[in-house]
Amino acid sequence: MVVHRLEATSWHNTLGSHEPVLRCADGDTVITGTIDAIGYDKDGVRRASPPNPVNGPIFVEGAEPGDALRVEIVRMTPTRDTGWTNSVLAANVVDPDAVRRLPQPERITWLIDRGALTVRLEKPPAGLENFVLPLEPMIGCFGVAPRHGGAISNATSAENGGNMDYRGFGPGTTVWFPVAVPGALFALGDCHAVQGDGEIVGTGIETTFEVEIRLGVEKKRAIVWPRGETATDIFTAGNARPLDQALQHATTEMLNWLTSDYGLCVNAASHLMGQVVRYDVGNVFDPAYTMVCRIAKKWLPAKG
């Protein structure tokens, strides 16, 4: 298997059928340095415009519609000593009568200690002087090209992935995307040092990373929505608005997974899901919301 280094010189604000910047084989590894959500690189130079410019796309040999692209997130190494967030909660996550009490949003700097792998506010307000968080890297926006040669804005998400902003998309996680075009045309960007559930200030701690991923093709694995697996859990992600529709997509994808791969009938899968499912909130700021349906592996039967 080959290790590729992708040095991006151009970026896209959509996931779509763009000309690939790299071609790799099934099982190859790609290492690439990302820029932040508004286009600044590790040296603070603006290289692209928002929203969420992504590196790629990468053409994966052998990937065809009806397959699944497997993305193993091997490593995320911070490459900058600062990140930034918005300063106040987004207006859509509080009661309408609370919106007028919110201050005007500002861009706030966070300091990243790349040795200790921690983050803290550069100018903490009263009460947060000792607020230091461990680094929890995640990929905010990634996925494959959608069907019919189209392109979907990186401000949102759909079946092909996109700006899902789910905390679980970090090192050690494997993610599957449905392949809709030859080569899958995978791209990634918008990496966060830390983020709470929902991205409820409209950002994570936005910064830059060197990301190492391993790409694989699983032939004739027909999935509809992104799936993921960690050391302890499996999960499915649904992207839509309103939030209940995103939940429906994630739940249906989990039902399909349990009945196709784990040998459960619909009744058995329903009993299992009804008692052990956990729902995580991905993005609730962007046009499409993300809900994640998650099950601990300890409850799963052996795969059929």
Predicted confidence at residue 1, as pLDDT, reads: 85
What is the SS3 assignment for 248?
helix
Q: Which of 198, 212, 213, 134 is nearest to 167 (CA)?
A: 198
**Distance set, CA 154 to CA 127, 157, 162 (Å):** 35, 7, 6
Name, in order, each residue with C-beta under 8 angstroms of 150's C-beta and a sequence gap of 6 or more: 16, 17
What single letter denotes the amino acid at residue 125? Answer: P
Mean pLDDT per segment of 10 residues, for the chain of length 304 residues?
96 97 98 98 98 98 98 98 97 96 96 98 98 98 95 98 98 98 98 98 98 98 97 98 98 98 97 98 97 98 84
- Given its phi and psi angles, is residue 202 left (phi above 0), alpha (psi -120 to 50 degrees) or beta? left
What is the C-alpha separation between 54 and 211, in angstroms, rounded? 12
What is the C-alpha separation between 103 and 58, in angstroms, rounded? 42
Greatest Cα pair distance, the chain, in angstroms, is: 57
Q: Whole-structure pTM over 0.85, yes or no? A: yes
- Given its phi and psi angles, is residue 186 left (phi above 0), alpha (psi -120 to 50 degrees) or beta? beta
What is the C-alpha separation between 86 and 153, in angstroms, rounded? 21
